[in-house]
Amino acid sequence: MIRVLVVDDSGVYRMLLSKALKEYQDIEVVGAAVDGQEAVELIPKLKPDVITLDMNMPRMNGMETLAVLAVKYPDIQVIVVAAETRNDAERVVLVLEAGAFDMVLKPKATDATPMQTLREGLYPKLKAAAERKSGLKQQRTVPPRPATVATPGRVRGVFTPDIVAIGSSTGGPAALREVIAALPANFPVPVIVVQHMPKLFIESLASRLDRDCPVRCLVAQEQMKLEAGHVYFNPGEIHMDVVRAAGGGLTVRFNDGAPEHHCKPAVDVALRSLHRLAPTIRTLVVILTGMGADGAAGAKMLSDVHARVIAQDQQSSVVWGMPGQTVKLGAADEVLPLAEIGPAIACIGRGMA
């Protein structure tokens, strides 16, 4: 049974969230709090596994609450429930980078089925968050296994890419910060990133990383030419293809197709476009932490045409879904802990590994 504490200063949302989860027999809403201070006071009695957390609350807001939880109750997983506004987007990116498990959007006022929207968004993330909490307990009692090369002998000596493609989802904002911060300003090839997040949240993430990292980080635009030393984020709510530019080089084309793996943008869509350019365009694929299997099939397709693939290891992943499936398909040349992925990309990009 997954024990959930709902934290929101809005009585309407406390009711909606509680009702939305009542139909699941493996979830128990053990209580509700009007702000972070009350939530922290209730935790010893209610013993939740997961907290759904509003951002804007009196006395103790979402960011302040997460800071307290990180110190006092680090195993409790936090799913942020946020409105699709620019202010919430900026705050949510901060709390995701600080260690919140994931986020879901509050239904819009025009949503005809707000309860269903909440259920569909929350349930799989609650399940994954509870598994994460259980895994953290096991990590303290079982010695971690070292990262291993997924397919011994697959790495084919020096590999110099023309582009780097990174896919991520749950846990991605914090992972991307660590990876991208390791890339030098003169990184010799362009980087594309597909992160499962809504449009405003992607814009906020790219803006923060552009401010804090050596490389230039920005949200891609239609027909934007991809340049070395730049990291291009796939906008939310649309797929992205990489195609040859008319005058040479690579450029961006958007694709308004159906969601894949329940995701839009989807990592697999971008990777398939790079597969169409292979083998004359060589891709370094990096699959980071995330729920589900998005990116695994695309990584396998590219691996089969002599791309190089790095998957994040299980120990350092918030959820070992996307990288785990990449490993399971035999697509990964290397399985690395998060701390080693940025330096590895920097070396490979310069033809040094």
Q: Among all chains, which residue has been given the structure tokens 């033809």? A: 351
**Structure tokens belonging to residue 155:** 């790495």
User: What whole-number distance in Å separates Cα of residue 201 and Cα of residue 335?
Assistant: 28
Question: Is 275 an active-site residue?
Answer: no
Question: Is 169 an active-site residue?
Answer: yes
Catalytic residue from among 54, 88, 102, 169? 169
Using omega within 30 degrees of 0 as the cis cutoff, is the peptide bond preceding 265 cis?
yes
Tell me the residue type at 215. Answer: V
Q: Among all chains, which residue has been given the structure tokens 């493996």? A: 26
Tell me how far the alpha carbon of residue 208 is from its chain's centroid: 15
Measure the N-to-C terminal CA separation of the chain; round to a whole number of Å. Answer: 47
Catalytic residue from among 8, 88, 162, 196? 196
Q: How far is CA 171 from CA 24, 86, 99, in A?
A: 25, 21, 8
**Structure tokens belonging to residue 95:** 């709390």
| Nearest one of 172, 241, 253, 163 to 205, comparing CA atoms | 172
Question: Is 8 an active-site residue?
Answer: no
Q: Are strands 250-255 and 239-244 parallel, antiparallel or unpaired?
A: antiparallel
**Structure tokens belonging to residue 75:** 């195993």
Q: Are 239 and 199 in contact (CB under 8 A)?
A: no
Catalytic residue from among 294, 313, 316, 317? 294
| Nearest one of 326, 322, 309 to 274, comparing CA atoms | 309
> What is the DSSP annotation of 269-301?
HHHHHHHHHTTTS-EEEEE-SBSS-TTHHHHHH
Return the active site residues.
169, 196, 294
